[in-house]
Structure 1
Amino acid sequence: TEQSDEQKQEADERESMYLVSEFASQYFQNILHKTDQGKAIGLSYFKERKFTEETIKKFDLGYALDEWQAFTNEALKKGYQLNFLEKTGLTIVKEERHFDRFKGRVIFPIHSMSGRVLGFGGRILATNKNAAKYLNSPESEIYHKSKVLYGIYHAKQSIAKEDNCYLVEGYTDVIQFYQKGIKNVVSSSGTALTPDQIRLVNRLTKNITVLFDGDAAGIRASLRGIDLILEQGMNVKVCTFPDGEDPDSFAKQNTFEELTLYLQENSKDFIAYKAALLMEEAKNDPVKKADLIRDMVTSISKIPDRIQTEIYVQECARIMDISEDVLFSTLAQIGRKELRDANKTYQTKQKAFEVVKHKTSLKKVDIQFELEQRIIEVLLLYGNRTEDFEDLVLKENEEGELILEPIIHKAKVFEKIYLDLQEDEMEFSNDNFRELYYTIIDTLNQNPDTGLENFVNKVDPKIASEITNILMNDERYELHDWERKNIFPKAKNHSVAQLVNETILSLRCFLIDQKVSEFKQETIDNKNDTNKNILEEVKDYSKLKTLLSRKLDRVL
């Protein structure tokens, strides 16, 4: 199809910008190699980094004179238009004056996959607190930072051949690895990885190995970006260097064979690596462990391949000492939430969750289990807190009508729960919950100020694991399925006192419903005079249910 005049003009402008960028690259190289300032400052810096002459030329490294207009004046003298010098960001124009953007910096040209110069990175060498250490070309018609990987032009053949791409942070990391003989390496230029950058690699290989400095805090922060790689259906490994080392320094100190061996022996699957790292951070803190497990499941949820997803869930369950069912349920919940939000990325992966969703959707909600679990959770999180509890007592008013009168009293949360359950002689139906309940009550009775962290350290590993499972289940506490059954426990953002009262009242209502159902079944099975007694029992329980419902402030 024939281009419109506007399209031709845009194409011509882009081509002009490419030509300006190519000229700039050649200019900076000439300054580096052929001027006294370039040799004394720029070339000396690269030699200090142990870059060879061959490497310096291979990557078209250069230097910009420490003068305000040296480059711009030379470009204008050669016939390049100021308009395109400004659009590429090489020149800063302010009113009638213009300045060189990269003045006094060593230059790293940034190439496209096909080798065209798109932009530049410049590192300042002089000590200047007011100037950024690294400076990149601004966004332009030809340079989009989020769509470019430094070193991709030189690395593409090796990436395809080795079927793996090493991802590092900085320019010098790439160059040092390449010089050492490991050529399948690229950099995101110190910025967070983007989907477009990942797609560049995805065209060449499905395998990425992310290389981290030995800085633990930096590693933790960088883990979030790797989820994007998983989302693209790629296989991710992680390799960390010893404390104080980065890819640049480590490559300088080791031979090609030593570096290759280190990468082979220390590259670990990302999911397994992250799970082990987070578990080390969480240690015996169940609250932290629950949060970190959610973090892990979020990462796993990015993987579009169903088989891989299942394998990773099994591996994480083993590393984190938690049941696979909990992880699968959390995984399904994430999938459902994202689908509800109409997130297109997750919609493409809906099939990956079908088996999990099917499994959980067919599972009947066990109301008693959920309520008992909620009581345990409240005890774990708030058991030692003192709250103002409102009890509703049935009294006659002046007209002789029965009304519920509120009475406020202070109590520890664990005392309130224990006394209420004792009053109704309610027992936990779940064996694990029952054991955990009495362990918590006994511990808090001996020392009411015991915190969750101290409590966990006192129980055996089986119970500690159960605690983590319960805290993990917290996010799946949804009420829409319960409403149909007249069960209305409040969410945790209500006051703790409300939460305790309503959870216990809801449990009592549920148990009454169960009892009434049993009585009704008896009337069907026993067609004799005992039915009259059973009906009386049903009436009594119904009255109690009505009273409890009034306390729950709802109408049956």
Structure 2
Amino acid sequence: MISQNTIQEILSRINIVDVVGEFVKLKKRGVNYLGLCPFHNEKTPSFTVSPTKEIYKCFGCGKSGNAISFIMEHEKYSYAEALKWLAAKYGIEVEETFVSQEQKDLYQTADSLFIINNFAEKFFTNTLFNTDEGRDIGLSYFKERGFREATIEKFRLGYAPEARTAFTDEALKNQFNKELLLKTGLIVERNGSLQDNYRGRVIFPIHNQSGKVLGFGARILKANDKAPKYINTPENEIYVKSKILYGFYFARQAMDKADECLLVEGYTDVVSLHQAGIENVVASGGTSLTLDQLRLIKKITNNLTIIYDGDSAGVKAALRGLDLALEEGLNVKLVLIPDNEDPDSYVNKVGASAFIDFVQKNKKDFILFQLELALKDIGNDPVKKSELVNKIAESISRINKAEDFTKQQDYIKQSADILHIDEAGLHALVNKYIRDRLAVQEKKAATTAPDPTALAQAEASNYDDATFDLLFKDQLQEKELARVLLEHGHKPWDEQTRIADYIFNEIDELEFEDQQVAKLIQAIKELLQTRPELFNEKYFIYHSDKELSALAVSLLNHPYDESPRWVEIVGENMGYQDTLFQQDFDSFVRTLAQGNQEELNRYKLISEDRTKDKVISALQYLKLKKIKRMLLQNQQDMEADKTYEKFPELHFIHKSLKDMERKITESLGTVILQ
């Protein structure tokens, strides 16, 4: 884990305009900055960055967050990767904390492997471009495949020289550890001596989501029946094949914009399609997809299209494991490239536009594709047909999300037609697989029933909408108090007390209906008890808990900011008084100045801190809403008391609550509850 000291240093250095400005052209507009949203296509800027609140918001697509979440969303990084990106930007050394020595050793090993791989990548790239052997053999091969130099540089392709110890000698000269070099697979030990493992091969570096080199794929160029066509990095602390998709680092943003992932088999397929401008493409390496790879795709899109050549072995390999994709909620399509072509050769043959058109017109649903392919093999064998029916029924049963019910029914109907079997019978078989799976899940689930909630009680009582709102909907007032607490809680209430302390003293016995707000309130309490010096308006915006961070951003994210210079404008002769936001104030001053400077002078500009008023107002409105709820509930209890046994007690409660309500109403003036 990244240490809290490092995180705090990063947070203290972050300038959200500076960070977002690396990816979006921003123009100053009032106190904020405006630009075209990088998360959806738009012609009119609706993407706003607030440097004072350190948050961004797109009023077109609704995306919002802080500088860290922007990097996570835009670059598809994890929280830790985003922090490390920011640390590198601001020149901050990242300090890691570890639970155990074993964890520390694992991290140090992984870090060392990344350093070695980075060194190797530069060595192979330099050999490719700057040596006679690299240019004559490696670069010539890539250019024969149609790769332009810009594409080769983008994917950082390289070449390993034929000399037995060229890389080994260079690595040892740079004092890299022998054991770690062996672990990377870059060198091997044979007959008691170290030598290069990828001699005479072109090199395809494999990157993780943040662009670090995990390992390599090395393709042989000479005809050699004894040597494998490709050698890949052996599994180690950073290279786990089941968790890797080649080209994901280069494809992640294009996948997001296209809302689709194209999956191919080989490295060259990915490179060729990228060069043709089709960048939302990754490769599986020819193996069946794993759950980790599917979840990597699902982080960005739910739409997966598999593009393979017509080789039956490759197709069957692609089909294995795709039931997992259905369980993950992915929409899986398959396309076969015609005429014994692969994606690499076909896109070079027909061009990018025709390739995309072919894919769009020839996509087939995974289940129907699987069905048609299997029917070619089973012929008239009734046993094989029965096995196929069961296999298709099991696959369809894995489409188990409520929103996909119609899709499931369509698959049952189409599959029954293709198999020439009774639709009702296939439906029953699908349901059997669903029941069997649910039975297994129920055995694992806890047997105790949850306690009834207030919401369930409300639904059972058939309250009308107005009554239900009063009884069970306090979210607006709760969120407003949480916003005030976030924005002003760190400020002083008096010489001894913070505003947060004052608020918590006032709401000590109140229960919060909104569970997210309740979680935030509890987190603030705990922070004040453990690390009060860290609490400020930005702490929860950058919280590592995504739920808390998202809530903090949404609470603080409103389209207007109060003028930092004047809170009120009072018309001395007109009796006009109102609070102005910054945008309104700027417009107000411009309008008056353009019309008549004397009229502007008639206004008195007042600078006044009204923070306490906001705190008291938020508290009073929340208390008032809670009292309204208690009054209505008490009224319900009085109506239910047919024997009048509890009437004196209930009447006393009613009177007390009404007194409290009247006092708060008088202090607030006119009250409108939503």
What's the TM-score bracket when you normalise by the shorter of the two chains? 0.5 to 0.7
SS at match of 1:122: strand
Alignment of 1:142-221 (within 5 A): 142-221=238-317
* Equivalent residue number for residue 318 of structure 1: 417
Alignment of 1:119-138 (within 5 A): 119-138=215-234
Tell me the amino acid that sits aligned with residue 254 of structure 1. Answer: V
SS at match of 2:263: strand
* Equivalent residue number for residue 209 of structure 2: 113
Identity of aligned residues (%): 47
Distance 2:400 2:329 in 1: 6
Q: How far does residue 95 in structure 1 lie from its aligned partner after superposition? A: 7.2
SS at match of 2:204: strand
* Equivalent residue number for residue 166 of structure 2: 70
Q: How far does residue 280 in structure 1 lie from its aligned partner after superposition? A: 4.6
* Equivalent residue number for residue 337 of structure 2: 241
Q: How far does residue 199 in structure 1 lie from its aligned partner after superposition? A: 0.7
Distance 1:268 1:54 in 2: 34
Tell me the amino acid that sits aligned with residue 33 of structure 1. Answer: F
SS at match of 1:300: helix
Conserved in 2, the CA contact under 8 Å of 1:68 and 1:99? yes
Q: How far does residue 126 in structure 1 lie from its aligned partner after superposition? A: 1.4
Tell me the amino acid that sits aligned with residue 409 of structure 2. Answer: E
Q: How far does residue 343 in structure 1 lie from its aligned partner after superposition? A: 11
Tell me the amino acid that sits aligned with residue 351 of structure 2. Answer: T
Establish whether residue 228 from structure 1 lines up as the match of residue 298 from structure 2.
no
User: Residues 314-333 of structure 1, C-alpha deviation per residue, up to 9 Å, x if partnerless?
Assistant: 22123323222211222233
Tell me the amino acid that sits aligned with residue 213 of structure 1. Answer: D
SS at match of 1:126: coil
Q: How far does residue 233 in structure 1 lie from its aligned partner after superposition? A: 1.2
Distance 1:220 1:5 in 2: 44
Distance 1:271 1:264 in 2: 18
Establish whether residue 301 from structure 1 lines up as the match of residue 397 from structure 2.
yes
User: Residues 47-99 of structure 1, C-alpha deviation per residue, up to 9 Å, x if partnerless?
Assistant: 11111111111111001011221101101112222222112121213574212
Alignment of 1:35-46 (within 5 A): 35-46=131-142
Alignment of 1:311-350 (within 5 A): 311-338=410-437
* Equivalent residue number for residue 184 of structure 2: 88
Distance 1:73 1:221 in 2: 40
Establish whether residue 48 from structure 1 lines up as the match of residue 144 from structure 2.
yes
Conserved in 1, the CA contact under 8 Å of 2:247 and 2:281? yes
- CA spacing shift, 1:5–1:327, aligned 2, 3 Å: same
Distance 1:135 1:339 in 2: 43
SS at match of 2:346: helix
Distance 1:341 1:93 in 2: 49
* Equivalent residue number for residue 278 of structure 1: 374
Q: How far does residue 224 in structure 1 lie from its aligned partner after superposition? A: 2.6
Tell me the amino acid that sits aligned with residue 35 of structure 1. Answer: T
Distance 2:119 2:436 in 1: 52
Q: How far does residue 272 in structure 1 lie from its aligned partner after superposition? A: 2.5
User: Residues 461-488 of structure 1, C-alpha deviation per residue, up to 9 Å, x if partnerless?
Assistant: xxxxxxxxxxxxxxxxxxxxxxxxxxxx
Conserved in 1, the CA contact under 8 Å of 2:289 and 2:318? no
User: Residues 219-272 of structure 1, C-alpha deviation per residue, up to 9 Å, x if partnerless?
Assistant: 245323322211211100111111311111101101221111111111122223
- CA spacing shift, 1:5–1:285, aligned 2, 3 Å: closer
Conserved in 1, the CA contact under 8 Å of 2:332 and 2:366? yes
Tell me the amino acid that sits aligned with residue 55 of structure 1. Answer: T
In the alignment, which of 193, 197, 212 is matched to residue 101 of structure 1? Answer: 197
SS at match of 1:239: strand
Q: How far does residue 125 in structure 1 lie from its aligned partner after superposition? A: 0.9
* Equivalent residue number for residue 155 of structure 2: 59
Distance 2:411 2:226 in 1: 47
Q: How far does residue 286 in structure 1 lie from its aligned partner after superposition? A: 4.0
* Equivalent residue number for residue 268 of structure 1: 364
Establish whether residue 22 from structure 1 lines up as the match of residue 118 from structure 2.
yes
Structure 1 range deviating more: 11-20 or 278-287: 278-287
Alignment of 1:419-498 (within 5 A): none
What is the CA RMSD across the aligned residues, in angstroms?
2.2
Conserved in 1, the CA contact under 8 Å of 2:262 and 2:304? yes
Distance 2:440 2:226 in 1: 44
Distance 2:136 2:228 in 1: 22
* Equivalent residue number for residue 486 of structure 1: none
Tell me the amino acid that sits aligned with residue 139 of structure 2. Answer: L
Distance 1:135 1:192 in 2: 18
Alignment of 1:250-269 (within 5 A): 250-269=346-365
User: Residues 484-528 of structure 1, C-alpha deviation per residue, up to 9 Å, x if partnerless?
Assistant: xxxxxxxxxxxxxxxxxxxxxxxxxxxxxxxxxxxxxxxxxxxxx
Distance 1:286 1:139 in 2: 43
Distance 1:216 1:299 in 2: 20
Tell me the amino acid that sits aligned with residue 420 of structure 2. Answer: D
Tell me the amino acid that sits aligned with residue 229 of structure 2. Answer: K
- CA spacing shift, 1:324–1:88, aligned 2, 3 Å: same
What TM-score, normalized to structure 1? 0.59
Distance 1:261 1:107 in 2: 32
Distance 2:390 2:342 in 1: 30
Tell me the amino acid that sits aligned with residue 324 of structure 1. Answer: E
Tell me the amino acid that sits aligned with residue 122 of structure 2. Answer: Q
Conserved in 1, the CA contact under 8 Å of 2:245 and 2:293? yes
SS at match of 1:16: helix
Conserved in 2, the CA contact under 8 Å of 1:32 and 1:62? yes
SS at match of 2:307: strand
- CA spacing shift, 1:220–1:86, aligned 2, 3 Å: closer
Distance 1:264 1:23 in 2: 41
Distance 2:301 2:340 in 1: 30
Q: How far does residue 285 in structure 1 lie from its aligned partner after superposition? A: 4.7
Conserved in 2, the CA contact under 8 Å of 1:123 and 1:133? yes
Tell me the amino acid that sits aligned with residue 334 of structure 1. Answer: Y
Conserved in 2, the CA contact under 8 Å of 1:62 and 1:107? yes
Conserved in 1, the CA contact under 8 Å of 2:286 and 2:314? no
Distance 1:112 1:315 in 2: 40
Tell me the amino acid that sits aligned with residue 64 of structure 1. Answer: A
Distance 1:172 1:27 in 2: 21
Distance 1:88 1:189 in 2: 19
Conserved in 2, the CA contact under 8 Å of 1:215 and 1:243? no
* Equivalent residue number for residue 20 of structure 2: none
Q: How far does residue 212 in structure 1 lie from its aligned partner after superposition? A: 1.7
User: Residues 396-455 of structure 1, C-alpha deviation per residue, up to 9 Å, x if partnerless?
Assistant: xxxxxxxxxxxxxxxxxxxxxxxxxxxxxxxxxxxxxxxxxxxxxxxxxxxxxxxxxxxx
User: Residues 116-167 of structure 1, C-alpha deviation per residue, up to 9 Å, x if partnerless?
Assistant: 0000000111122221111100001111111000000000000010000001
What TM-score, normalized to structure 2? 0.49
Distance 1:303 1:48 in 2: 45
Distance 2:307 2:393 in 1: 23
